[in-house]
Structure 1
Amino acid sequence: MTSPLNQNDGANDAAVVPGPAGVTPRPVVDRLPKYAAGKPPVPVEGLTSYKLSSNENPLPPIPGVLEAMARETAVNRYPDPVSGRLRAALGGFLGVPEEDIVAGAGSLGALNQLLAAFAGHREDGTQDEVVYAWRSFEAYPISVGLAGAKSIQIPVKADGRHDLDAMAAAVTDRTTVVLLCTPNNPTGPALRRDEVERFIASVPSGVVVVIDEAYQEFVRDPEAVDGLEMYRNHANVVVLRTFSKAHGLAGLRVGYSISQPGITQYLRVAAVPFAVSSIAEAAAIASLAHFDEVVGRVQSLVDERDRVTAGLRELGWDVPDAQGNFVWLALGDAASDFAAHAQAKALSVRAFGAEGVRVSIGEPEANTRFLELCRTFTKVPQGFLR
């Protein structure tokens, strides 16, 4: 299945510059989409600009984290290559053996380490296959392709949920990894425990099942899957988590994977040394130590998310269940018009081609302006409103 990535905003439309004679990339590089980060808002006179395009936490790190960062002055030295202090802190915080944790540069860095270990070209020249829902996290096809594996993309359902039956049916003897994004970015719903249990039971035990929980702290669905429970019960499950979202440390790039020793032993081989800086490690440890403050900030964003979702539904907009720090508008061909309408109001949102628009939860004023934008937007596709 071809990927429609990056048709939305021209963020990577620069002309290809010819390299030196005879210098060419691997053929797969020319076929891969380019990651399109959310754009900053365009200034509009008389309005405060807000960036709602990158699923960032609009709140800064808690004071204790900033103090811990300031104390890390030995940046002339390499950090601990295996982030031992962070792994020990996480092990105690999560109740898992620290040996089961492998740090990475964000959860995406942890994912790339996993794909390097389990997905690529086989010795006979054929490709491993990686199955995942689509649309989902836009880095998936890039990471899978660069690893040398083949993407098998299974369309999400109309309500933005994974089609786990179709994903299970797509697993073949060439499948080595399945990616489950929960809550799914950009559509929003979280996977439920029972459906994930059934899915894991339906695929061969030799297939690595990745539960990508970048937004786990924002989930309030009581039936949502808990990746840690799945990891404890199934030797082929890997959990990905990050400090980028709930902890507000996106700029420091610190994440991790959790898996049993039968998998972790290979992830350590593929892990990038020094991936987590000493400043990032100190910040993450401090954030765990002050997690009650993190929880309070996350709840304030969840309250805003629920206010936005309720406001959209009051306006008649049909939106999927939102369990992350964002909402999804399946606007189809009207996505780019909506993004332009938002830009005129000093809001940046993330349009995905002719599929829809993802809007991150931001400051209360930004969220209120977004709801007003939705009230006045006149190009809503037929059938989108209830």
Structure 2
Amino acid sequence: MTETNSTAQTGVHPRPVVGRLPKYAAGKPPAAVPGLESFKLSSNENPLGPVPAVLEVLHQAVGVHRYPDTTCTLLRTALGRFLDVPAEDVVTGAGSLGALNQILAAFAGQNDDGGQDEVVYAWRSFEAYPICVGLAGAKSVQVPVLADGRHDLDAMAAAVTDKTRVVLLCTPNNPTGPALGARETEDFINRVPSDVVVVVDEAYQEFVRMDGAVDGVQLYRRHPNVIVLRTFSKAHGLAGLRVGYSVSQPGITGYLRAAATPFAVSGIAEQAAVASLENYGEVVERVQSLVDERDRVTAGLKQLGWDIPEAQGNFVWLPLGPDTQEFAALAESRGLSLRAFGDEGVRVSIGEVEANTRFLEICAAHTKEPRRS
């Protein structure tokens, strides 16, 4: 301890950008409340967990003393069959966030002349975006979402300059909920210079039920500058194993592999992901049960007269503004942990049936309904 304190007093400092970065706030566990079962609805986790075949793989896991296959050949091959894409077009990472960091490391940062590349994305969106962009050495260009929580694609297209190297499209958008349509996204990509990388972040793709929703894999087939991000953390219930991947054409994948962290996906995680794909029918059943719960929750909110953005992920967004913290505290007192974002709103993950019912009861007791800006 003395040595650590002495080191801190020598004046060692991180890069200036580190001090300017927002702090990532992971979802907190619920507080214990006497007489109530507590539930965590703050991290968009799948409360049903992985399918039984995955649990069997984990139970029988051996070989943890060996390094994994750094290119995840088994998983990429399985994904190639599942998505009907060449396995070589798939690059794995530690969750979709790890895959995103590979993209930024390869395509956006600080140049040899000291100038910064720009990364355009909607805001509010995934809170890790500004952190990842900043650590890469690039500059964030945040474009406010529309009042209904959707991306303002016209404003995002207008924000692209000759310094823009990457555009991030989060669909469904976390935390506001709406998904992008196929036609509007195609039109947007056609307005972006072909040397700008467009990332379609589809972490919640399996939960989308909107007619005409975008499919990133279809876009990647037509546009050499499109990269699709997906993950096993949400629908597959493997958040703790950190398995994600990107899909892009050969003109991009080589750069992503060069920027990848070796051995980022463990051998156990790879085997679990393959087992989940092999039992995808069961995954779909579990996802549909969560979608049904999401629809029950949104219908309940509408009955209360609450105006919220369209929910296409495994969560709902309450734009509560200055009442955000008050509502989060009320939920905590009733054994629910939610994800509050300053004075903007609350994101509530779809959880167990009892948790969702209690959430609706809390909403009914809260007299200050959400409002759109």
TM-score by length of 1: 0.94
Structure 1 residue ranges without an equivalent (≥5): 1-15
Please show how residues 2-81 of structure 1 align to structure 2 within 5 Å: 19-81=8-70
Q: Which residue of 2 aligns with 1:350?
A: 339
- For 1:173, what is the secondary structure of its paired residue? coil
Residue 168 (structure 1) aligned with residue 157 (structure 2):
yes
1:96–1:342: structure 2 CA closer, same or farther, 3 Å change rule? same
Runs of 4+ in 1 over 4 A off after TM superposition: none
- For 2:8, what is the secondary structure of its paired residue? coil
TM-superposed CA distance for 1:72, in Å, is: 2.1
Q: Which residue of 2 aligns with 1:277?
A: 266
- Alignment partners' CA distance in 2, 1:384 and 1:160: 9
Deviations 1:8-65 (A, max 9, x none): xxxxxxxx99824131100000000111000000010110000000000001211100
Structure 2 residue ranges without an equivalent (≥5): none
- For 1:318, what is the secondary structure of its paired residue? coil
- For 1:183, what is the secondary structure of its paired residue? coil
- Of 195, 209, 218, the residue aligned with 1:220 is 209
Aligned residues: 369
Q: Which residue of 1 aligns with 2:118?
A: 129
- Of 75, 78, 89, the residue aligned with 1:100 is 89
TM-superposed CA distance for 1:384, in Å, is: 6.0
- Alignment partners' CA distance in 1, 2:187 and 2:308: 27
Q: Which residue of 2 aligns with 1:295?
A: 284
- Alignment partners' CA distance in 1, 2:372 and 2:113: 48
1:368–1:18: structure 2 CA closer, same or farther, 3 Å change rule? farther
- Of 348, 355, 371, the residue aligned with 1:359 is 348
- Alignment partners' CA distance in 2, 1:342 and 1:82: 44
* Structure 1 vs Structure 2 CA RMSD: 1.4
Residue 186 (structure 1) aligned with residue 175 (structure 2):
yes
TM-score by length of 2: 0.97
Deviations 1:243-287 (A, max 9, x none): 000000000000000000001110010011100001100100000
Q: Which residue of 1 aligns with 2:104?
A: 115
Contact 1:72 1:278 in 2 (8 A): no
Q: Which residue of 2 aligns with 1:311?
A: 300
Contact 2:147 2:372 in 1 (8 A): no
Residue 249 (structure 1) aligned with residue 251 (structure 2):
no
- For 1:124, what is the secondary structure of its paired residue? coil
Q: Which residue of 2 aligns with 1:89?
A: 78
Q: Which residue of 2 aligns with 1:341?
A: 330
- Alignment partners' CA distance in 2, 1:148 and 1:306: 41
- Alignment partners' CA distance in 2, 1:213 and 1:82: 22
**38-47 vs 61-70, greater mean Cα deviation:** 61-70
Letter in 1 for 2:236: H
- Alignment partners' CA distance in 2, 1:244 and 1:384: 30
- For 1:123, what is the secondary structure of its paired residue? coil
Q: Which residue of 2 aligns with 1:13?
A: none
Letter in 1 for 2:136: A
Contact 1:317 1:384 in 2 (8 A): no
- Of 136, 143, 147, the residue aligned with 1:154 is 143
Contact 1:332 1:355 in 2 (8 A): yes
- For 2:221, what is the secondary structure of its paired residue? helix
- Alignment partners' CA distance in 2, 1:380 and 1:325: 21
1:218–1:169: structure 2 CA closer, same or farther, 3 Å change rule? same
